[in-house]
């Protein structure tokens, strides 16, 4: 959907997902695929304490400006975008963690897109953020912004099969030639991670450490259960049990088929 948003010249593309769902990873992949005729600006620090939006935009696009006020900076931005368009280049501004933007800042972003005229797209905007971004974009004050969104997508957590394939893929990429995690171990990892890629990564890393310490070449479900028991006493952030609807069914399957009860 990100690639489609770029090639279709969508004015606004919005991708949302839970923490750790892989939004930033997708942006990195996209950056490696975008053609040379695109000028890319990436904004990561979206908190108000880091400055105002116009300063972020100029810095991200490497636009030199001697103006000390927003009006002058906006003029320099317009001149830059129009000049690049005349050269046959497209300007794409990517805002990561966009849920941190205030309603006012999001409205300012919409005003930046006013440089687009009918079918002539001078600027494309890509926003990624946590689900709170969707809530903000549903604010009546941002109705005009929402109407300009051409492409939108919400990243779901992985299901059990996807989780197992994800673990296998990462191990294979790292050089593994044999099966390291059993199916039951993958099922337990899925339940405890709720299918969120970042959590899967962390739990698998810990499981590998436990297996290494015990000189085990295969990670079975008992290793996962022991690891989670140790982690439970010092865990800072506990799973929400609301991200993935398939967790309960996999827990039931483990109980029914293997008589394994996950806490």
Contacts of 61 by beta carbon, 8 Å cutoff, 6+ apart: 39, 41, 77, 80, 91, 93
Enumerate the domain spans of the chain: 1-155, 160-258
Q: Which two tokens stand for residue 18?
A: 């839970």
Find out if CATH 3.40.50.300 is the number for domain 1-155.
Answer: yes
Full DSSP string of 114-180: GG-BTTB-SEEEEEEE-THHHHHHTSGGGHHHHHTEEEEEEEPPP-HHHHHHHHHHHHHHTT--S--
Contacts of 26 by beta carbon, 8 Å cutoff, 6+ apart: 2, 15, 128, 155
pLDDT in tens, the chain (263 residues): 988 988 888 889 999 999 999 998 999 999 888 878 889 999 987 776 556 888 889 999 999 988 888 889 989 999 999 999 899 888 999 999 999 888 888 988 888 888 887 677 888 999 999 999 999 999 898 998 888 899 999 999 999 999 999 999 999 999 999 889 999 999 999 988 889 999 999 999 999 999 999 999 999 988 998 888 887 766 554 555 555 666 777 777 677 665 667 76
Residue 219 β-bridge partners: 181
Answer yes or no: pTM beyond 0.85. Answer: no
Q: Which two tokens stand for residue 78?
A: 């317009």
Buried b / exposed e over 124-136, threshold 16 CB at 10 Å, is: bbbbbbbeebeeb
């Amino acid at each position: 959907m990100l690639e489609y948003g770029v090639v279709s010249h969508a004015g606004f593309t919005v991708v949302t997902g839970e923490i750790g769902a892989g939004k930033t990873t997708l942006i990195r992949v996209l950056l490696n695929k975008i053609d040379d005729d695109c000028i890319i600006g990436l904004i990561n620090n979206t908190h108000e304490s880091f400055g105002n939006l116009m300063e972020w935009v100029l810095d991200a696009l490497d636009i030199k400006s001697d103006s000390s006020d927003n009006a002058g900076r906006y003029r320099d931005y317009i001149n830059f975008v129009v000049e690049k368009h005349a050269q046959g280049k497209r300007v794409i501004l990517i805002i990561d963690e966009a849920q941190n933007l205030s309603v006012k800042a999001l409205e300012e972003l919409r005003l930046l897109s006013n440089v687009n005229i009918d079918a002539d797209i001078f600027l494309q905007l890509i926003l990624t953020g946590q689900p709170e971004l969707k809530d903000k974009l549903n604010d009546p004050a941002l109705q005009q912004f929402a109407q300009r969104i051409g492409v939108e997508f919400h990243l779901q957590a992985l299901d059990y099969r996807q989780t197992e394939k994800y673990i296998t893929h990462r191990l294979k990429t790292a050089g593994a030639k044999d099966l390291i995690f059993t199916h039951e171990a993958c099922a337990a990892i899925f339940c405890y991670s709720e299918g969120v890629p970042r959590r899967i990564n962390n739990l698998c890393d810990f499981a590998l450490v436990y297996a290494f310490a015990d000189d085990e070449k295969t990670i079975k479900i008992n290793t996962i259960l022991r690891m989670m028991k140790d982690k439970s006493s010092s865990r800072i952030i506990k799973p929400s049990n609301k991200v993935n609807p398939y967790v309960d069914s996999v827990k039931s399957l483990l109980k029914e088929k293997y008589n394994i009860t996950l806490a």
